C-alpha cells in the first residue's frame, strides 16, 4: 500500500469563541479583612493595586466545582451540548493533585466523556495558552468544539501574612467554547516563556518539602526560617513574588507582546473595541494601556477592582463581565494577554462571542 | 556624557512626571522611600524612564541598592562611563 493513501484530518479555515461563562464564589474578602493579617490599610491597597474586594471559595468548594459551574454557563451561552465537545482543557495551578487532572473529572461531570481532557500549567497565561491550543485543535480538525476553562482556588495557596502577593489573590473560574467559524475569530497567538526568571513568581515550597516536614526530616519552621530569613507558619507551599521586577516585565516586555499580537492579526489599536489584560494589578493595566497608546474608545477591563487577581481565570471572567455590562460589544475585536509565573506569556486578538 | 548635575536634573524631571513632586525637592541625599515617599512600583517606572533618558541599563537586582537620589545619580554616571 502506498503511504500517500493515508488520511489526515481535514483542516478548518476559521475558528471563534462561541460562548463565555463565569463562576464567582460568594464569599467576599474586603481590604479591611486583609488588614487583620497585614499591617496595611484599605487606602494603601487601593492605591497600589486597585483592588477593593476579592472573591474566595469556602473549603467545600473545589477547583472542579468552580470549573463545572463556569463550563455549564459557557456551554449554555454557546448553545453547545457537552456531548459535542472534542476536547476539554483546564488551565489551573491550584488543583491540589498533580494527577489525575481536573480536566478528566470535569469532563465526566459534564457528560462529555470520552472527550480527551488535560490540564495546562501556565499560571496567569494559562487561559491564553488554552485558547492557543483550542484554536489549533479546531483548526487542525482534531476536534470540532473545545472547552477551555481558566480556574483557580488561590486561597488554598496563600499566606495571609505575606505582603508580596497573597492579599491580591482571589478565587474564580471562567470558561469559553471554541469551535468552527465562517470568518476569522481568533488571531494568531504570540506566546513564549522565560524560565530564567522562574523565581520572580513562585510557590515557596515543593511537595517534597511538605513530605520531609511531615516525616520530621525538617526539625522546625524556626530553624528553616532562620536559614531563609523569612517568617511564616507551617510548611505548606504558598505564593510569593518579586513585585517590582514583575511590574517592570509585565508592563514593558508584555506591551511589546501585545503589540505583536495586534500586528500578527493585522489589526491596529484603532480597530479594537476591548482590551482584556490579565488582571494582575491596576497599575500594570494602566501603564500597559499607556505604553500601547490605546485610543480612548477602547474599553479596558478592570475586573480586578472587585475580583482581585484570579490568575488563569482573570481574562475569561473579565470578558464575561464586559459582555454582561455592554452586550453591544459582542462581535467586536478584543486583545487579550496573559502573563505570569514561569515566566510565561500569551496573547491573541479575538472576536468577542 | 552627562555630568552629575545634569543627571540629577533629568532624574528630578522623571520623578516629577511620575509623582508630581517638585523637581527641587529631589536632592542627592534624599531617600526615595523615606523622604520622597516613592513606592516600589513608582520606583520601577522611574528606573525604566531613566534607562531610556540616559541610555543605561539598571538591572532589577541593582534597583534595590538605589536607596537615595545620590545612589541613582552615581549609578547612572558610572554606567555611562
Q: What is the pLDDT of residue A173?
A: 98
Q: What is the pLDDT of residue A210?
A: 84
> How many residues are recorded in chain B?
81
Q: Which candidate from A252, A281, A283 shows the least CB-CB separation from B48?
A: A252
Interface test with A, best of B32, B37, B45 (most A CBs within 10 A): B45
Alpha-carbon gap, residue A339 to A124, rounded angstroms? 5
CB A302 within 8 A of CB A277: no
Alpha-carbon gap, residue A27 to A65, rounded angstroms? 15
Count of A-B CB contacts under 8 Å:
25
> How many residues are recorded in chain A?
353
Residue B21 at interface with chain A, using a CB cutoff of 8 Å: no
Q: What is the pLDDT of residue A229?
A: 45
pLDDT interval class at B41 (50, 70, 90):
confident
Dihedral angle sign, alpha carbons of residues A191, A195, A196, A197: positive
> Of A308, A305, A300, whose CA–CA distance to A337 is shortest?
A300
- Bridge partners, A274 (sequence order): A299, A334
Which region holds residue A50: left if phi is over 0, alpha if psi is between -120 and 50, else beta?
Answer: left
Interface test with A, best of B49, B60, B64 (most A CBs within 10 A): B60
Alpha-carbon gap, residue A251 to B18, rounded angstroms? 15
As given in the structure block, the three cell numbers for residue A22 are 463565569
Q: Which residue has the cell 507551599?
A: A237
Q: What is the pLDDT of residue A80?
A: 97
Lowest-pLDDT choice from A53-57, A212-216, A299-303, B66-70:
A212-216
Q: What is the pLDDT of residue A350?
A: 98
Q: What is the pLDDT of residue A225?
A: 52
Residues ≥6 apart with Cβ < 8 Å to A256: none
Backbone angles phi, psi at A317, to 5 degrees: -65, -45
Chain A residues lying within 8 Å of B39, measured CB to CB: 48
What is the pTM (predicted TM-score) of this model? 0.91
CB A152 within 8 A of CB A308: no
> How far apart are the CA of B43 and the nearest CA of chain A, in angstroms?
8
Burial call A312-343: b when 16+ CB within 10 Å, e when fewer: bbbbbbbbbbbbeeeeebeeebbbbbbbbbbb
Residues of chain A with pLDDT > 90, as a percent, come to 79
Residue B40 at interface with chain A, using a CB cutoff of 8 Å: yes
Pairing, β A299-300 against β A274-277: parallel
Residue range A3-53, pLDDT digits in tens: 678 998 899 999 999 999 999 999 999 999 999 998 889 998 998 899 999
Residue B38 at interface with chain A, using a CB cutoff of 8 Å: no
Residue range A59-83, pLDDT digits in tens: 999 999 999 999 999 999 999 999 9
Pairwise CB contact (< 8 Å): B41 & A48: yes
Residue A55 annotated among the catalytic residues of the structure: no
Q: Residue A247's closest chain B neighbor by CA?
A: B41
Q: Is the pLDDT of residue A311 over 80?
A: yes
Q: What is the pLDDT of residue A233?
A: 54
Alpha-carbon gap, residue A346 to A349, rounded angstroms? 11
Alpha-carbon gap, residue A152 to A125, rounded angstroms? 12
As given in the structure block, the three cell numbers for residue A59 are 473549603
Backbone angles phi, psi at A19, to 5 degrees: -170, 155
Residue B65 at interface with chain A, using a CB cutoff of 8 Å: no
Q: What is the pLDDT of residue A318?
A: 98
Q: What is the pLDDT of residue A218?
A: 57
pLDDT interval class at A224 (50, 70, 90):
low
CB A145 within 8 A of CB A179: yes
Residue range A146-203, pLDDT digits in tens: 999 999 999 999 988 888 888 899 999 999 999 999 999 999 999 999 999 999 999 9
Backbone angles phi, psi at A187, to 5 degrees: -75, 170
- Average pLDDT, stretch B54-77? 92
Catalytic residue among A18, A95, A278, A320: A278
> How far apart are the CA of A286 and the nearest CA of chain B, in angstroms?
12
Identify the structural domains of chain B with CATH numbers, from first to last: 4-80 (1.10.1200.10)
Pairwise CB contact (< 8 Å): B44 & A248: yes
Dihedral angle sign, alpha carbons of residues A325, A329, A331, A337: negative
Residue A281 annotated among the catalytic residues of the structure: no
Q: Is the pLDDT of residue B32 over 50?
A: yes
Residue A309 annotated among the catalytic residues of the structure: yes
As given in the structure block, the three cell numbers for residue A150 are 481558566
> Of B45, B41, B40, whose CA–CA distance to B16 is shortest?
B45
Residue B45 at interface with chain A, using a CB cutoff of 8 Å: yes
Q: What is the pLDDT of residue A163?
A: 84
Q: Is the pLDDT of residue A230 over 90?
A: no
Residue range B13-25, pLDDT digits in tens: 999 998 899 999 9
Amino acid at each position: 500500500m502506498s503511504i500517500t493513501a493515508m488520511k489526515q484530518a481535514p483542516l478548518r479555515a476559521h475558528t471563534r469563541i462561541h460562548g463565555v461563562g463565569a463562576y464567582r464564589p460568594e464569599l467576599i474578602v474586603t481590604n479591611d479583612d486583609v488588614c487583620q493579617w497585614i499591617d496595611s490599610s484599605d487606602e494603601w491597597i487601593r492605591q497600589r493595586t486597585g483592588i477593593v474586594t476579592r472573591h474566595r471559595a469556602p473549603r467545600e468548594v473545589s477547583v472542579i466545582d468552580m470549573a463545572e459551574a463556569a463550563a455549564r454557563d459557557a456551554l449554555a451561552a454557546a448553545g453547545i451540548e457537552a456531548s459535542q465537545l472534542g476536547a476539554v482543557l483546564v488551565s489551573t495551578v491550584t488543583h491540589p493533585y498533580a494527577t489525575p487532572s481536573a480536566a478528566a473529572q470535569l469532563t465526566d461531570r459534564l457528560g462529555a466523556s470520552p472527550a480527551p481532557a488535560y490540564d495546562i500549567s501556565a499560571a496567569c497565561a494559562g487561559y491564553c495558552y488554552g485558547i492557543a491550543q483550542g484554536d489549533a485543535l479546531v483548526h487542525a480538525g482534531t476536534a470540532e468544539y473545545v472547552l477551555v476553562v481558566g480556574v483557580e482556588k488561590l486561597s488554598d495557596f496563600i499566606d495571609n501574612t505575606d505582603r508580596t502577593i497573597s492579599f491580591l489573590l482571589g478565587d474564580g473560574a471562567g470558561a469559553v467554547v471554541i469551535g468552527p467559524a465562517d470568518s476569522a475569530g481568533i488571531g494568531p497567538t504570540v506566546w513564549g516563556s522565560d524560565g530564567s526568571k522562574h523565581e520572580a513568581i513562585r510557590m515557596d515550597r515543593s511537595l517534597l518539602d511538605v513530605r520531609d516536614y511531615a516525616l520530621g526530616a525538617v526539625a522546625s519552621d524556626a530553624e528553616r526560617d532562620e536559614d531563609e530569613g523569612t517568617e511564616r507558619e507551617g510548611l505548606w507551599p504558598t505564593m510569593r513574588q518579586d513585585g517590582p521586577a514583575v511590574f517592570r516585565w509585565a508592563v514593558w516586555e508584555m506591551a511589546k507582546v501585545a503589540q505583536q499580537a495586534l500586528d500578527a492579526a493585522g489589526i491596529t489599536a484603532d480597530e479594537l473595541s476591548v482590551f482584556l489584560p490579565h488582571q494582575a494589578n491596576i497599575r500594570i493595566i494602566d501603564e500597559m494601556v499607556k505604553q500601547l497608546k490605546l485610543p480612548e474608545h477602547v474599553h479596558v477591563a478592570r475586573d480586578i477592582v472587585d475580583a482581585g487577581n484570579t490568575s488563569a481565570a482573570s481574562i475569561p471572567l473579565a470578558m464575561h463581565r464586559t459582555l454582561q455590562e455592554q452586550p453591544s460589544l459582542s462581535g467586536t475585536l478584543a486583545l487579550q494577554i496573559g502573563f505570569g509565573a514561569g515566566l510565561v506569556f500569551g496573547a491573541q486578538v479575538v472576536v468577542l462571542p | 556624557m552627562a555630568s552629575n548635575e545634569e543627571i540629577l536634573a533629568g532624574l528630578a524631571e522623571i520623578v516629577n512626571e511620575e509623582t508630581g513632586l517638585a523637581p527641587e525637592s529631589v536632592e542627592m541625599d534624599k531617600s526615595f522611600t523615606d523622604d520622597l515617599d516613592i513606592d516600589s512600583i513608582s520606583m520601577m517606572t522611574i528606573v525604566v524612564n531613566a534607562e531610556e533618558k540616559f541610555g543605561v541599563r539598571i538591572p532589577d537586582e541593582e534597583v534595590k541598592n538605589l536607596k537615595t537620589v545620590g545612589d541613582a545619580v552615581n549609578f547612572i554616571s558610572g554606567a555611562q562611563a
